[in-house]
Structures are given as C-alpha cells and as structure tokens.
Structure 1
Amino acid sequence: METASGMINNIFFIIFPIIVYQMFVTAGKRNFFVSHRTMLTILFSLSIILCMNFPYEFITNDYIFDLRQVPMIVGALYGGPYVSAFLFVVAAVCRILIGGEGTDIAILNQLLIAVAVPLLQPAFMQMQWATKILSVFLISFFSLSFNLLAGYFLFDHPIDRLYDIWLLLMINQGIVSVLAALLIEHIMRQEYLLNSLLKHEKMDTVSHFAAAVSHELRNPIQGIKGFIQLMQRYEYSREKQLEFHETILKEIQAAESLIDDYLVYAKPSYGQMVCISVKREVEHILKVLGPYALSNNINIVVKSLDKEACIMADRQKFHQALVNIVRNGIEAMPTGGKFYINVATHNAEVSIELADEGCRMTKEEVQRLGEPYFSTKTKGTGLGMMVTYSVIRQMDGHIKVSSAKGKGTVFTLLFPAATRTTTR
C-alpha cells in the first residue's frame, strides 16, 4: 500500500505542474514551453524536489525509488539545453543535501541526461506523435540502464535481481514518462488547433468585410458609372447635366459614408473626449429624429432624463451610436408604436435605456448583434450596429440587450459616470 501511494504521489508531482501551466500560464500565450519558459522550469524543479523528498519502496525494502528523472527528461526534450541545465543543478543540489549511498551514481546519471538529452531536441520536435512517445520511453529506459551499468563497471556494484527489480523499475519510469509526454503533446495539439481556429476566424472576418465592402460599394459605383456613360454618349441640357451631377455627388457621398462606417469599426478615431450631459445630447437626438419618428407613426416617450447624468465621450460619435439604435427601433415598428427612452444614474454608472415595441429578436440574433455583416433587416448591412458596438466599447461603455415577445427589444447602454465640472 505504501509503494502504491508513494508512486501515485510521485506521478501527481509530475503531472500537476503541467496542468497548472496549461491552465494559468499559457492563457494568451499559445506556444508550449516557449512562452513563460521560466515559469514551467520552476514548476518542473518543484516536481524534482518533491519526488526526491517523497520516494517510495519498490517491491522490497532494499529499493527506494523516485521519479525525478521524468521531469528532467521531459524538460530537456521540450525545453532545450538551458532548461535542462537548470533542472540538473536543482536535482544535483537536492541529491547532495539528501546524501546517502548512491549519490555519485545519481549525479552522474543526472549529468548524462542534462548533456545528452537536449542534443536530441531538434530531431525530437520534428518527429511524429507516435515516434515521440516511443523515444521518450526509450530515453527513460536507457537512463535507468545507465544507472545499473555505471554502478557495476565504475563502482563495482553487483548486478542482482536484474529482471524482477531493475526491469520493472525501467518499465515503471518509462510509462510515467510517456504519460507526461502524452499530456504535453495533447496540450500542444489543442494549442495548435486553437491557433488555427483563431486564424480561420480572422480570415473569415476579413472575407466578410471584403464581401460587404464590394457589395455595398458596387451600387453607388454602378450608378456613377451609368450617369457618366450617359453624359458621354448623349447631349443633355445644362439643367439635366446639373441634375446628373447632383445625383453623382450623392452617390459619392453614400460611398464615402460607407467607407467611414467601416473605418470607425476597424480603427475608431475620435475628436476630443469631453464630459457631456446625456440629457442635453438625448434631447438633441430627439430633435433630429423626431420628424422621422412622426412620419412612421412612432411616438417617442421620454420616461426620465437625469439632469445629473454625465459621461466622458466624443459628442459626434455618441450621437452616431444613439441615432443608429433609435433608427433601428423605429424601423422595427412598421405599423407604428411607442419608443421609450430612460436615462438614470446608479452607483457611479449612467444607464441609457432605449426600448421599442417591435418584433422580438431570438437569443441567437441578440448574441450576434454587432457582428460584421449581420442584420435582422432583409436589406440591412449590419454596419450601423457594428459601428455602434465599436463606438460604445471605445468609450469604456458596454451594451446589454434584452428582447421578449410582446415587449419588443430594450438596449441598455452603460457608461462610467463623470462629474459635471467640465460638462460642455
């Protein structure tokens, strides 16, 4: 029972640091044993120290054994010469402090691992998965074989109980080494898959942007091209030419507006960030969109406008974000209805609630709001909400969206509150 529990402890000392590294250290650094190499070296050093300080009896009381060689071998193969050298120093100092019979053979064996195993690293990293696992097992196997042979030829230690003790020791250590290597290979494969997925998502986003830009710019460009061809082919009166020019300018402005929307999302640019009164800005938006709401039979109801609500924002971009949400809410009620606005301050946070009585959105649609080229409208491009989400994030705010059947959709914009001393 003591042998089994001691072996389990040693295995735990080896596996646990690898799991800790994978869980906490590699977050955002998807390159095993390269990013935060120092941290993993320290963890493997702790593995060596714990294994050496908690050995276990193997089969008989004559053999006290530990698995210190496993982190040394795995660390040398995946970490390289510098990691291997540091682990050797740790193991050697610890072995000298422990003392006792076999210290000389142990340090000689550790030196061999520290020198020889890193030389195999370049070839090892190019091997296939199955070949790597076999190589780890053989290195571990021959490492203990060196202990046996060095004791016999250099220090005249007898070779006794070779098959029933040493062979089992070699197999035991080899299996644990394979388990550690398997875990590392699994982590490396998961990180490779994650990198591939992230790269694919970036390329997918780029393709969406390219498709959106080409699709949206084609319309105004085709219009401009058509008018220019007409003026080249036919003679028109000055009045008609001016009408064509005006139409062309509108199409150019539409294209510029589209490009600006994409630039705002990709790399928002801001004017001066000032402390603004939310009440004043909302009232301005109501003046701008009031006629549009009335023409669509929409009644805008202001529940509350907190006079003290102030935030740090770029006034122009803030207007743009609010206009996008209010306009979408109005368009979500084709048969008319009410649009509600509520501004309040709670616990140093300003909340702006914008609610419509239109068709509800599904949970999937709510989660996808702000994605490139996603819109719930049949003719929408998704640019408005994409820009809105980008603008709100850049102002240290965030958006909550709730949608329920019979209640419409509620957008809640949350911003850190600011003082009124510099309000403009």
Structure 2
Amino acid sequence: MEAMMTGMINNIFFIIFPIIIYQMLATAGQRNFFVSHRVTMTVLFSISIILCMLFPYQFLTDQYIFDLRQVPMIVGALYGGPLVSAVLFLVSSGGRFLIGGDGMYIAIFNQFVIAAGVPFLRPLYMRLKRFGKIVLVFCISIASLLFNMLAGAYFFGDPIHDIIGIWVMLIINQGTIIVLTALMIEHMQRQEYLYNSLLKHEKMETVSHFAAAVSHELRNPLQSIKGFIQLMKEYDYSREKQVEFHSLILKEINAAEDLIDDYLVYAKPTYGQLEPITVSTEVHHVLKIMAPYANGKDVKMQIGDMDETAEILVDRQKFQQALVNIIRNGVESMPDGGTLAIAAKSSPAKVWIEVTDEGVGMTKEEVQRLGEPYFSNKIKGTGLGMMVTYSIVSQMNGQIMVDSQKGKGTEFTLEFPNIATFEKK
C-alpha cells in the first residue's frame, strides 16, 4: 500500500510540474494554454509521459501495474490540438514499445485512439463552461480505461466480474487526477485572462485621464482666445488695444503649446545629447531660477551637504526641468512659508539629489499615486508636472524615491548612476 501511494504521488507530481513551470515562465495574459509556448509545453508533457511510464505503481493487486500517462496525453490533445496530440502519441507509443510486455499492442492502440479522436473534441471542449469541461474530460478518461478493460478481458480471458472492481477504482483514480489537472489549467487561464483584462482596463483608464486632463487644461486658453477674437470682431478697438489683445492671444497660445509639449514629453520623451554634468553646478543654477518664486511664497531655500564632485550623464535641459518641478511642488506645499533644503551625495555607483520641504506632506496612499495622470494634491492641479518628472528621470536611467509624512513634510530623492559607472564600461 505504501509503495502504491508513493508511486501515485510521483505520477501526480510528473503531471503537474509542467503546468507549474508554465505558470512561472509564461507571459502574463495568455488566454490559451498552448498558444505562445506550444513547443515548450509539448516537450514538458512528453517528459511527464515518459516519467509516468518509467515509474508505474501496482494497483490493489500484484497483477496490475498502472501509470497516469493518459492524463497528459488527453489534456495535451484538448488544449494543444492535433499536432501536439500526434507528438505526444509518438512519445508514449515509443516508450511503451520499448517497455514491451503483455498488453503492449493494446496500450499503443488505445493511445492511438486518444491521439486521433480527442483533438476532434477540442472545439467543443473550448466552448464549454468549467463544469462541462470537467464532465467531458472525465468521460474521455472513463472511455479510455473501459477500452483497456474490455480489450484485456477479450485478449487475456479475464472474467469481467473478477476485474470490474479494480477497474472502477482505476477509473476513479485517473478520473480524479485528470479533473484536478483540468481545473488547475482552467484556474490558471482564468487568472491570466483577468490579469490581462486588468491591464487593458488600466490602459483605458490612463487614456481617459489623459483626455480629461487635456480637455480641462486646453479649454482655458482656448476660451480666452475665443473671447478676444469675438470682442475684436464685434467692436472697433483702437490699434493700441488690438495690439494688447494680440499679445494676450499669443500668450494663451504659448501656454497651450507648453501644455502640449509637456504631454509629449510624458507620452514619448525625446532628449537631446546626453552629456556629463556636475550636479552641484546644475543645482545652483536651478535655485537661482526658482529664488524669486520661492521668495514670493515666503520660502527659504537652503543648500545642505553638496558633493561638488558628483557627476551624472543626462540631458541638461530635461534634468533642470525635472528638478524645477520638484522644487516648485515643495514650495507650493508650504503655503505659510518654510524652508526647502537640497543636498547631493554620491557613491562610486550612484548619485543622490535630495529635496526636502516642511510642507503639508502626504499619506502613503498619496505617495504611491504620485506620477499618475490627473492625480494632484493641488485644488486645480492635474498631476501633469509630476508625470513629466517621473518620465524624465526614468528615461535617463534614474528613479525617484519619496518619503513623506502628513503634516511633517516630504523628501524627494533622485537617484542616478554615477558617471564613473559609464566610464568603466
């Protein structure tokens, strides 16, 4: 009994291991078990068949040696189709021929019937719901074992009433394993399908957020332009007033162009020549640019520890843009004023730029959503600035890390590869 259980467990393992390997290695979102990995899965099921045949087990009496090779054969034929079924038949019949012994030709003929007949049931199998698939695969297993029982009784003269109990147990044994195998595959495919649907939903949601942000942001300058044009059409303004209107219209057009450029940077970033820059030099330059804005908000900008030797390989203009966006966000997070500190550190492999504010801070959920389209802590914000910032840093081999506490401020850390790592390559 112990040997029988050990052999059965081994056979079950030989069947499920290719399915587990597939689940680990297959690309997420594949809806058909064999579609994208047909060759791999055929090889794995062939190995299962061979191992099941090499390690059979005695069932109830010493006269019956049994294995579960039919399980991968039937499952492979249903999910893989005629070509996969033919390959599995060649493997199983070749293995059975080498093993030899009584019943060899019956077993090979039975395998041929499975390989030739089961693929015709594949279209029906794929249309059925889960319960229908379970019933069909169980019936195929029963039919296959009944064929073996009747053929054995006919050729070897064993009375049916003497062996019916053994074969009923074999039917239950193999039927249970093949049903569990089919359920495992169906569950895995369902998870893959749901994951694929989730990815599509997220993409559509991103597109809808983009559409909402574009329409929201472009409507304001377009409404202004439309209003000025209508006024100039209906009233006869002086030349001086018309020039003023022209100037305002051009200003709104430039605002709309800047917005579109920002979206293009996020959607399809384009960079000029990457060049080595000294981080401290760029930080001082950006702080000079942002000083008037910070002073107007009663925010003091402070330079902390600054590694004067730290260098990175980036697009200078885009790097400045990303740093400006982060500093502006930090300033705007301190409506009552405060201090914004910036520092730069380096190691032989990495360079870190830290921007710390004393602003309102964020919750963990808000930090996780940073960089998403149309997410912003500002009342009239669209989140576009941080979207662009994350895109810029990511495309230049960097990453952004955020540490924030509600009411205690936020620290942004920009991490880039040290230029020394590029020189070594």
Aligned sequence identity (%): 64
**CA drift at 1:21:** 1.3
Question: Which residue of the partner structure matches residue 306 of structure 1?
Answer: 307
Give the aligned partner of residue 332 of structure 1: 333
1:178 equivalenced with 2:179 (yes/no): yes
Match of 1:82 in 2: 83
- SS of alignment partner, residue 311 of structure 1: strand
**SS, match of residue 60 in structure 1:** coil
CA offset at residue 59 of structure 1? 1.5
Q: Is residue 2:254 matched to residue 1:253?
A: yes
Instruction: Tell me if 1:266 matches 2:267.
Output: yes
Q: Distance in 2 between matches of 1:168 and 1:207?
A: 58
Mean Cα deviation higher: 158-167 or 183-192: 158-167
Q: Give 3-state SS (helix, strand or coil) of 1:352's partner.
A: strand
Do 2:342 and 2:354's aligned partners in 1 also have CA atoms closer than 8 Å? yes
CA deviation vs aligned residue, 1:310-347 (integer Å, no higher than 9, x gap): 11111111111000000111111111111111111113
Provide the rounded CA distance (Å) in 1 between the counterparts of 2:422 and 2:138.
71
List per-residue Cα deviations over 1:30-64 (Å, max 9, x = no partner): 54221222222222122212211221111211111
2:242 maps to which residue?
Answer: 241
1:391 aligns with 2:383: no
* Contact 1:41 1:87 (8 Å CA) reproduced: yes
Is the Cα contact below 8 Å between 2:114 and 2:144 reproduced in 1?
A: yes
Equivalent position of 1:118 in the other structure: 119
Is contact 1:278-1:311 (8 Å) kept? yes
Residues 65-90 of structure 1: per-residue CA shift (max 9 Å, x gap) = 11110000001100112211221122
Shift of 1:404: 2.6
Name the CA distance, whole Å, in 1 between partners of 2:32 and 2:175.
Answer: 26
Contact residue 29 and residue 192 of structure 2 kept, 8 A:
no
SS at match of 1:216: helix
Q: Distance in 1 between matches of 2:151 and 2:330?
A: 82
Separation of aligned partners in 2, 1:290 and 1:399? 23
Greater Cα offset, 73-82 or 99-108: 99-108
Aligned residue-pair number: 421
Q: Quick check: 1:277–1:309 contact (8 Å CA) kept in 2? A: yes
The gaps in structure 2 that reach 5 residues or longer are none
Point out the more displaced range, 37-46 or 317-326.
37-46
The corresponding residue for 2:47 is: 46
Matched with 1:158 is 158
Q: Do structure 1's residue 409 and structure 2's residue 410 form an aligned pair? A: yes
Secondary structure of the residue aligned to 1:178 is helix
Unaligned runs of at least 5 residues, structure 1: none
Q: Deviations over 1:236-292 (max 9, x none)?
A: 011111111111111111111111111111111111111122122111111111111
Q: Distance in 2 between matches of 1:182 and 1:142?
A: 20
CA distance in 2 between partners of 1:114 and 1:420 (Å)? 57
Distance 1:118 1:324 in 2: 60
1:90-109 superposed matches below 5 A: 90-109=91-110
Identify the residue that residue 349 of structure 1 maps to in structure 2: 350
Distance 2:289 2:5 in 1: 78
Contact 2:28 2:192 in 1 (8 A): no
Cα distance in 2 for partners of 1:210, 1:236 equals 37
Deviation at 1:150, TM superposition (A): 3.2
Provide closer, same or farther for how the CA distance between residues 71 and 27 of structure 1 changes in structure 2, counting only shifts above 3 A.
Answer: same
For residue 287 of structure 1, what is the aligned residue in structure 2?
288
Aligned residue in 1 for 2:17: 16
Give the deviation of 1:309 after TM superposition.
1.3
Shift of 1:296: 1.6
**Contact 1:360 / 1:406 at 8 angstroms: preserved in 2?**
yes
Task: Name the structure 1 match of 2:134.
Answer: 133
Contact 1:275 1:420 in 2 (8 A): no
Instruction: Read off the aligned partner of 1:321 and give its amino acid letter.
Output: A
Aligned partner of 2:149: which letter? L
Q: CA separation in 2, counterparts of 1:309 and 1:27?
A: 40
CA distance in 2, matches of 1:50, 1:325: 60
Measured in 1, the distance between the counterparts of 2:82 and 2:320 equals 59
- Cα distance change on mapping 1:159 and 1:271 into 2, 3 Å: farther
**CA deviation vs aligned residue, 1:79-106 (integer Å, no higher than 9, x gap):** 1122112211221222222222211111
Pair 1:124–1:302, CA change in 2 (3 A): same
CA contact (8 A) 1:274 1:314 kept: yes
Cα displacement (A) at 1:5? 2.8
Alpha carbons 1:18, 1:184 under 8 Å: kept: yes
- Relative to structure 2, which stretch is displaced further, 190-199 or 383-392? 190-199
1:346 and 1:355 map into 2 onto residues whose CA distance is: 20
Q: State the secondary structure of the residue aligned to 1:61.
A: coil
Q: Secondary structure at the match of 1:8?
A: helix
Q: Determine helix, strand or coil for the equivalent of 1:341.
A: strand
CA offset at residue 17 of structure 1? 2.2
Q: Which amino acid is the alignment partner of residue 278 of structure 1?
A: V
Question: What SS does the corresponding residue of 2:63 show, helix, strand or coil?
Answer: strand
Task: Give the letter for the 2:273 counterpart.
Answer: Q
TM-score by length of 1: 0.95
1:338-377 to structure 2, matched below 5 A, reads 338-377=339-378
| Distance in 2 (alpha carbons) for counterparts of 1:242 and 1:289 | 31
Using the size of structure 2 for normalisation, the TM-score is 0.95
Distance in 2 (alpha carbons) for counterparts of 1:36 and 1:151: 37
Pairing 1:199-238 to 2, within 5 Å after superposition: 199-238=200-239
Give, as a single letter, the amino acid of the residue that structure 1 aligns with 2:147: F
CA distance in 2, matches of 1:378, 1:392: 25
Distance 1:315 1:30 in 2: 45
